[in-house]
Chains A and B, each alone.
Chain A
């Protein structure tokens, strides 16, 4: 994970811990967010969609489930999205 992605991933970790009240020790880049991992559900996914929009300007409405697999996949999608705030300001 490069620095750019890591910065996004760490913001996501903080966001999830604060907003979804997850204990920090249970969260890392690769833990599955849904299913057997930390067991997020559909309401949590709405919160993640809203949060990524607020934090990074990226809309995750309708993207495929794989993006939500873990924080690594989520952050990767965000840094590659043309709407990501930093991509916009650089371009």
Chain B
């Protein structure tokens, strides 16, 4: 398969403009879009500025994250000339976001605090990150792989890298990829609480005291070279390799040595078959916080030296920090830089500053104050995030020399399981509960199926009080399940293997409980009173971030959010990562929490009370390359053969069609080389809602004779935790730990409210 991936369309909206050209022209001129913030009440705060695009008004009835994203996507789709509906199944959407529907979250809890009945179910549908990619897919009629990357400030780089990789792996021909985040009281108050806002426009790598928040959306049409050529599309540039790593150091602060940043950058260069010397321009993360800037500058100097051959700038000095959109906003600026042969500056440097910078970084070129003309053949864009996540990607002129790493044909096995479920924690307890017909733990008050983690669970996996007290329930369950999984796999993390163990996490709703707690706090006490303790927990990648710290794993680390199927997506995405990166092991996690807050949200949606019982939990599947598993003599529960994705472009909150579910199943069977008739076991995803049962019964007709198992019938709709538990349950059945199935192949299916379906085929060892 040809690995050439090109960019054929651009869309951008941020503090310095309402389209890609306007933004780039203003950025080149060093125009600063950071001024007094209008959309957030900040009178009691020590800082008052940020980068908003106030000309764009959110249309009535919409959430700003989706609205910004759709605005940028409309520009990008029109620019590319791509006819999305022509072959809709082959067009996907991959959107990065940090705070998602935070503007609606504020509105919802303001209503709720005033009168719980006033808060509306329609608003609940606008709150999760899950909604964004689904809304974009609906707007354009895309029916391919739909997902969101929820890795806070690195999300917008990871989403573009993932889009390229999905096309390379044959899952799509074109992707609408990028990121979106609005200005919000949640983020403003949170960074304020951490004293991470600068009260003056930030001057990254210079005298900056913190960030200026921004808002915006950047969208790129990412396409296979053949597809673009065949339709005569204009080609801006190519996407080469990418690199993702994790610090495993601190939930908000980067590791001071910048080692994780450096390794993500080095991997992106290496995966592209390039040398550091080839890179002409770096769009740095450059947030303006002293911690980020000193770690990042150190990493850049170690990679590029201080000779000044490479130009590096932080465009955040003009547009502000757009969080989950940052990487995509910056991607569009990088692509324009290649197109025009001009690089944008870092602004705010006085002559005195420049002299001080020379002391610190020699002739390293920060492109002070004004953009400049120069050769721009290869561009590297870097973003780093809460959770210690680091991401880097390389863009190159069309046809530029490169040598991308070829995927291996390694088989991938399930070599360990970590279960936190309403039926008990640990594989042993879960198996005993299933085989003995125990009933799952229920919340006495609300009747939901709930998991519990207590001091004994933490002690069993060696997590201390001063660590676990900080965690919300989602993170607690994730850490325990992840550590249990490593133990079950017999993997001891050490200096040698730490960078070869990664995490792919999926969550439907993320940390909605601590998001609500944080938001209610600022509604009661003002934006200036945000909780520094709670804020780190409000990002969706906090749970896997905490897991990386507690387990010490420094490899790949990406969090996806697209409804209940996200837990299965984590397993579906992992084999490709194992075959194309340095990782030997991926911990594929599915996790979602229940709480009074989550129960209330599902009541507002009308799901609770219509036959669905909520559940929660965290399940980690250890997925390992054959060479690694065999080398250490690992036990194998099952083999992962293949996966399939399909989507119905329905309103967010509704399920898609039986036809789409069947497409996901057929494509998983095709990739696995397995016939429908050979599937002996099916893990179903019905959750008590009639709409989903009807779809599933229709879609799975040809598996009438296969044995069926449902984890949701036992443990409730635990969303991503349930879809990951399906993989664990199927693995336990195929390996003979549960029941006595004669099945050789198992099919695992999952559905997300929003229209997406995922399917995975597992094989008995």
Please name all residues of chain A whose beta carbon is closer than 8 Å to the beta carbon of B466 when the two chains form the complex.
38-40
Asked whether any CB of chain A lies closer than 8 Å to the CB of B404, the reply is: no
Interchain CB contact under 8 A, B532 and A46: yes
Q: What 1/0 flags go to A30-44 for Cβ under 8 Å of B?
A: 000000001110011
Interchain CB contact under 8 A, A43 and B194: yes
Asked whether any CB of chain B lies closer than 8 Å to the CB of A50, the reply is: yes
Task: Provide the bound-state CA to CA distance between A39 and B464, in Å.
Answer: 10
Asked whether any CB of chain B lies closer than 8 Å to the CB of A19, the reply is: yes
Asked whether any CB of chain A lies closer than 8 Å to the CB of B533, the reply is: yes
Tell me the smallest distance from the CB of A17 to a CB of chain B, in Å.
Answer: 10
Tell me the smallest distance from the CB of B497 to a CB of chain A, in Å.
Answer: 28
Tell me the smallest distance from the CB of B538 to a CB of chain A, in Å.
Answer: 13
Interchain CB contact under 8 A, B469 and A21: yes
Interchain CB contact under 8 A, B469 and A43: no
Task: Provide the bound-state CA to CA distance between A38 and B470, in Å.
Answer: 12
Tell me the smallest distance from the CB of A58 to a CB of chain B, in Å.
Answer: 15
Interchain CB contact under 8 A, B533 and A47: yes
Please name all residues of chain A whose beta carbon is closer than 8 Å to the beta carbon of B252 when the two chains form the complex.
43
Question: Chain B interface mostly helix, strand, loop or mixed?
Answer: loop
Task: Provide the bound-state CA to CA distance between A26 and B455, in Å.
Answer: 13
Tell me the smallest distance from the CB of B741 to a CB of chain A, in Å.
Answer: 43
Please name all residues of chain A whose beta carbon is closer than 8 Å to the beta carbon of B744 when the two chains form the complex.
none
Q: How many B residues touch A, CB cutoff 8 Å? A: 15
Tell me the smallest distance from the CB of B595 to a CB of chain A, in Å.
Answer: 14
Total of A-B residue pairs, C-beta within 8 Å: 38
Task: Provide the bound-state CA to CA distance between A40 and B466, in Å.
Answer: 7
Please name all residues of chain B whose beta carbon is closer than 8 Å to the beta carbon of A38 when the two chains form the complex.
465-466
Interchain CB contact under 8 A, B533 and A19: yes
Asked whether any CB of chain A lies closer than 8 Å to the CB of B536, the reply is: yes
Interchain CB contact under 8 A, B525 and A44: no
Instruction: Considering the complex, give the chain A residue whose CB is closest to the CB of B469.
Output: A21
Tell me the smallest distance from the CB of A39 to a CB of chain B, in Å.
Answer: 3
Task: Provide the bound-state CA to CA distance between A20 and B469, in Å.
Answer: 7
Which residues of B, 38-57, contact A by the 8 Å Cβ criterion? none
A46 interface neighbour in B195, B465, B525, Cβ under 8 Å: B195
A19 interface neighbour in B465, B525, B531, B536, Cβ under 8 Å: B531
Q: What 1/0 flags go to B435-479 for Cβ under 8 Å of A?
A: 000000000000000000000000000001110011000000000
Interchain CB contact under 8 A, B465 and A47: no
Tell me the smallest distance from the CB of A15 to a CB of chain B, in Å.
Answer: 11
Interchain CB contact under 8 A, B469 and A47: no
Known: A43-B532, A43-B533, A44-B533. A50 touches B193 (CB 8 A): yes
Chain B CB within 10 Å, residue with most, of A38, A43, A44: A43
Tell me the smallest distance from the CB of B546 to a CB of chain A, in Å.
Answer: 13
Please name all residues of chain A whose beta carbon is closer than 8 Å to the beta carbon of B532 when the two chains form the complex.
43-44, 46-47, 50
Task: Provide the bound-state CA to CA distance between A86 and B193, in Å.
Answer: 26
Tell me the smallest distance from the CB of B476 to a CB of chain A, in Å.
Answer: 10
Tell me the smallest distance from the CB of A62 to a CB of chain B, in Å.
Answer: 12
Task: Provide the bound-state CA to CA distance between A26 and B466, in Å.
Answer: 11
Please name all residues of chain B whose beta carbon is closer than 8 Å to the beta carbon of A46 when the two chains form the complex.
193-195, 532-533
Which residues of B, 175-197, contact A by the 8 Å Cβ criterion? 193-195
Tell me the smallest distance from the CB of B522 to a CB of chain A, in Å.
Answer: 11
Asked whether any CB of chain B lies closer than 8 Å to the CB of A63, the reply is: no
Interchain CB contact under 8 A, A22 and B533: no
Asked whether any CB of chain B lies closer than 8 Å to the CB of A23, the reply is: yes
Please name all residues of chain A whose beta carbon is closer than 8 Å to the beta carbon of B26 when the two chains form the complex.
none
Asked whether any CB of chain A lies closer than 8 Å to the CB of B529, the reply is: yes
Known: A19-B531, A21-B470, A50-B531. A43 touches B195 (CB 8 A): no
Q: What 1/0 flags go to B192-216 for Cβ under 8 Å of A?
A: 0111000000000000000000000
Please name all residues of chain B whose beta carbon is closer than 8 Å to the beta carbon of A19 when the two chains form the complex.
531, 533
Tell me the smallest distance from the CB of B472 to a CB of chain A, in Å.
Answer: 9
Asked whether any CB of chain B lies closer than 8 Å to the CB of A1, the reply is: no
Task: Provide the bound-state CA to CA distance between A24 and B602, in Å.
Answer: 32
Interchain CB contact under 8 A, A23 and B531: no
Known: A43-B194, A43-B252, A50-B193. A20 touches B533 (CB 8 A): yes
Please name all residues of chain A whose beta carbon is closer than 8 Å to the beta carbon of B536 when the two chains form the complex.
43
Please name all residues of chain A whose beta carbon is closer than 8 Å to the beta carbon of B533 when the two chains form the complex.
19-20, 43-44, 46-47
Known: A21-B470, A43-B194, A43-B536. A50 touches B465 (CB 8 A): no
> What are 9 sample pairs from A and B whose C-beta atoms fall under 8 A apart?
A19-B533, A20-B469, A21-B469, A23-B469, A39-B466, A43-B536, A44-B532, A47-B193, A50-B529
Known contacts A21-B469, A43-B533; can you find 16 more A-B pairs with CB under 8 A? A20-B533, A23-B465, A23-B469, A26-B465, A38-B466, A39-B466, A43-B252, A43-B532, A43-B536, A44-B532, A46-B194, A46-B195, A47-B193, A50-B529, A50-B532, A54-B529
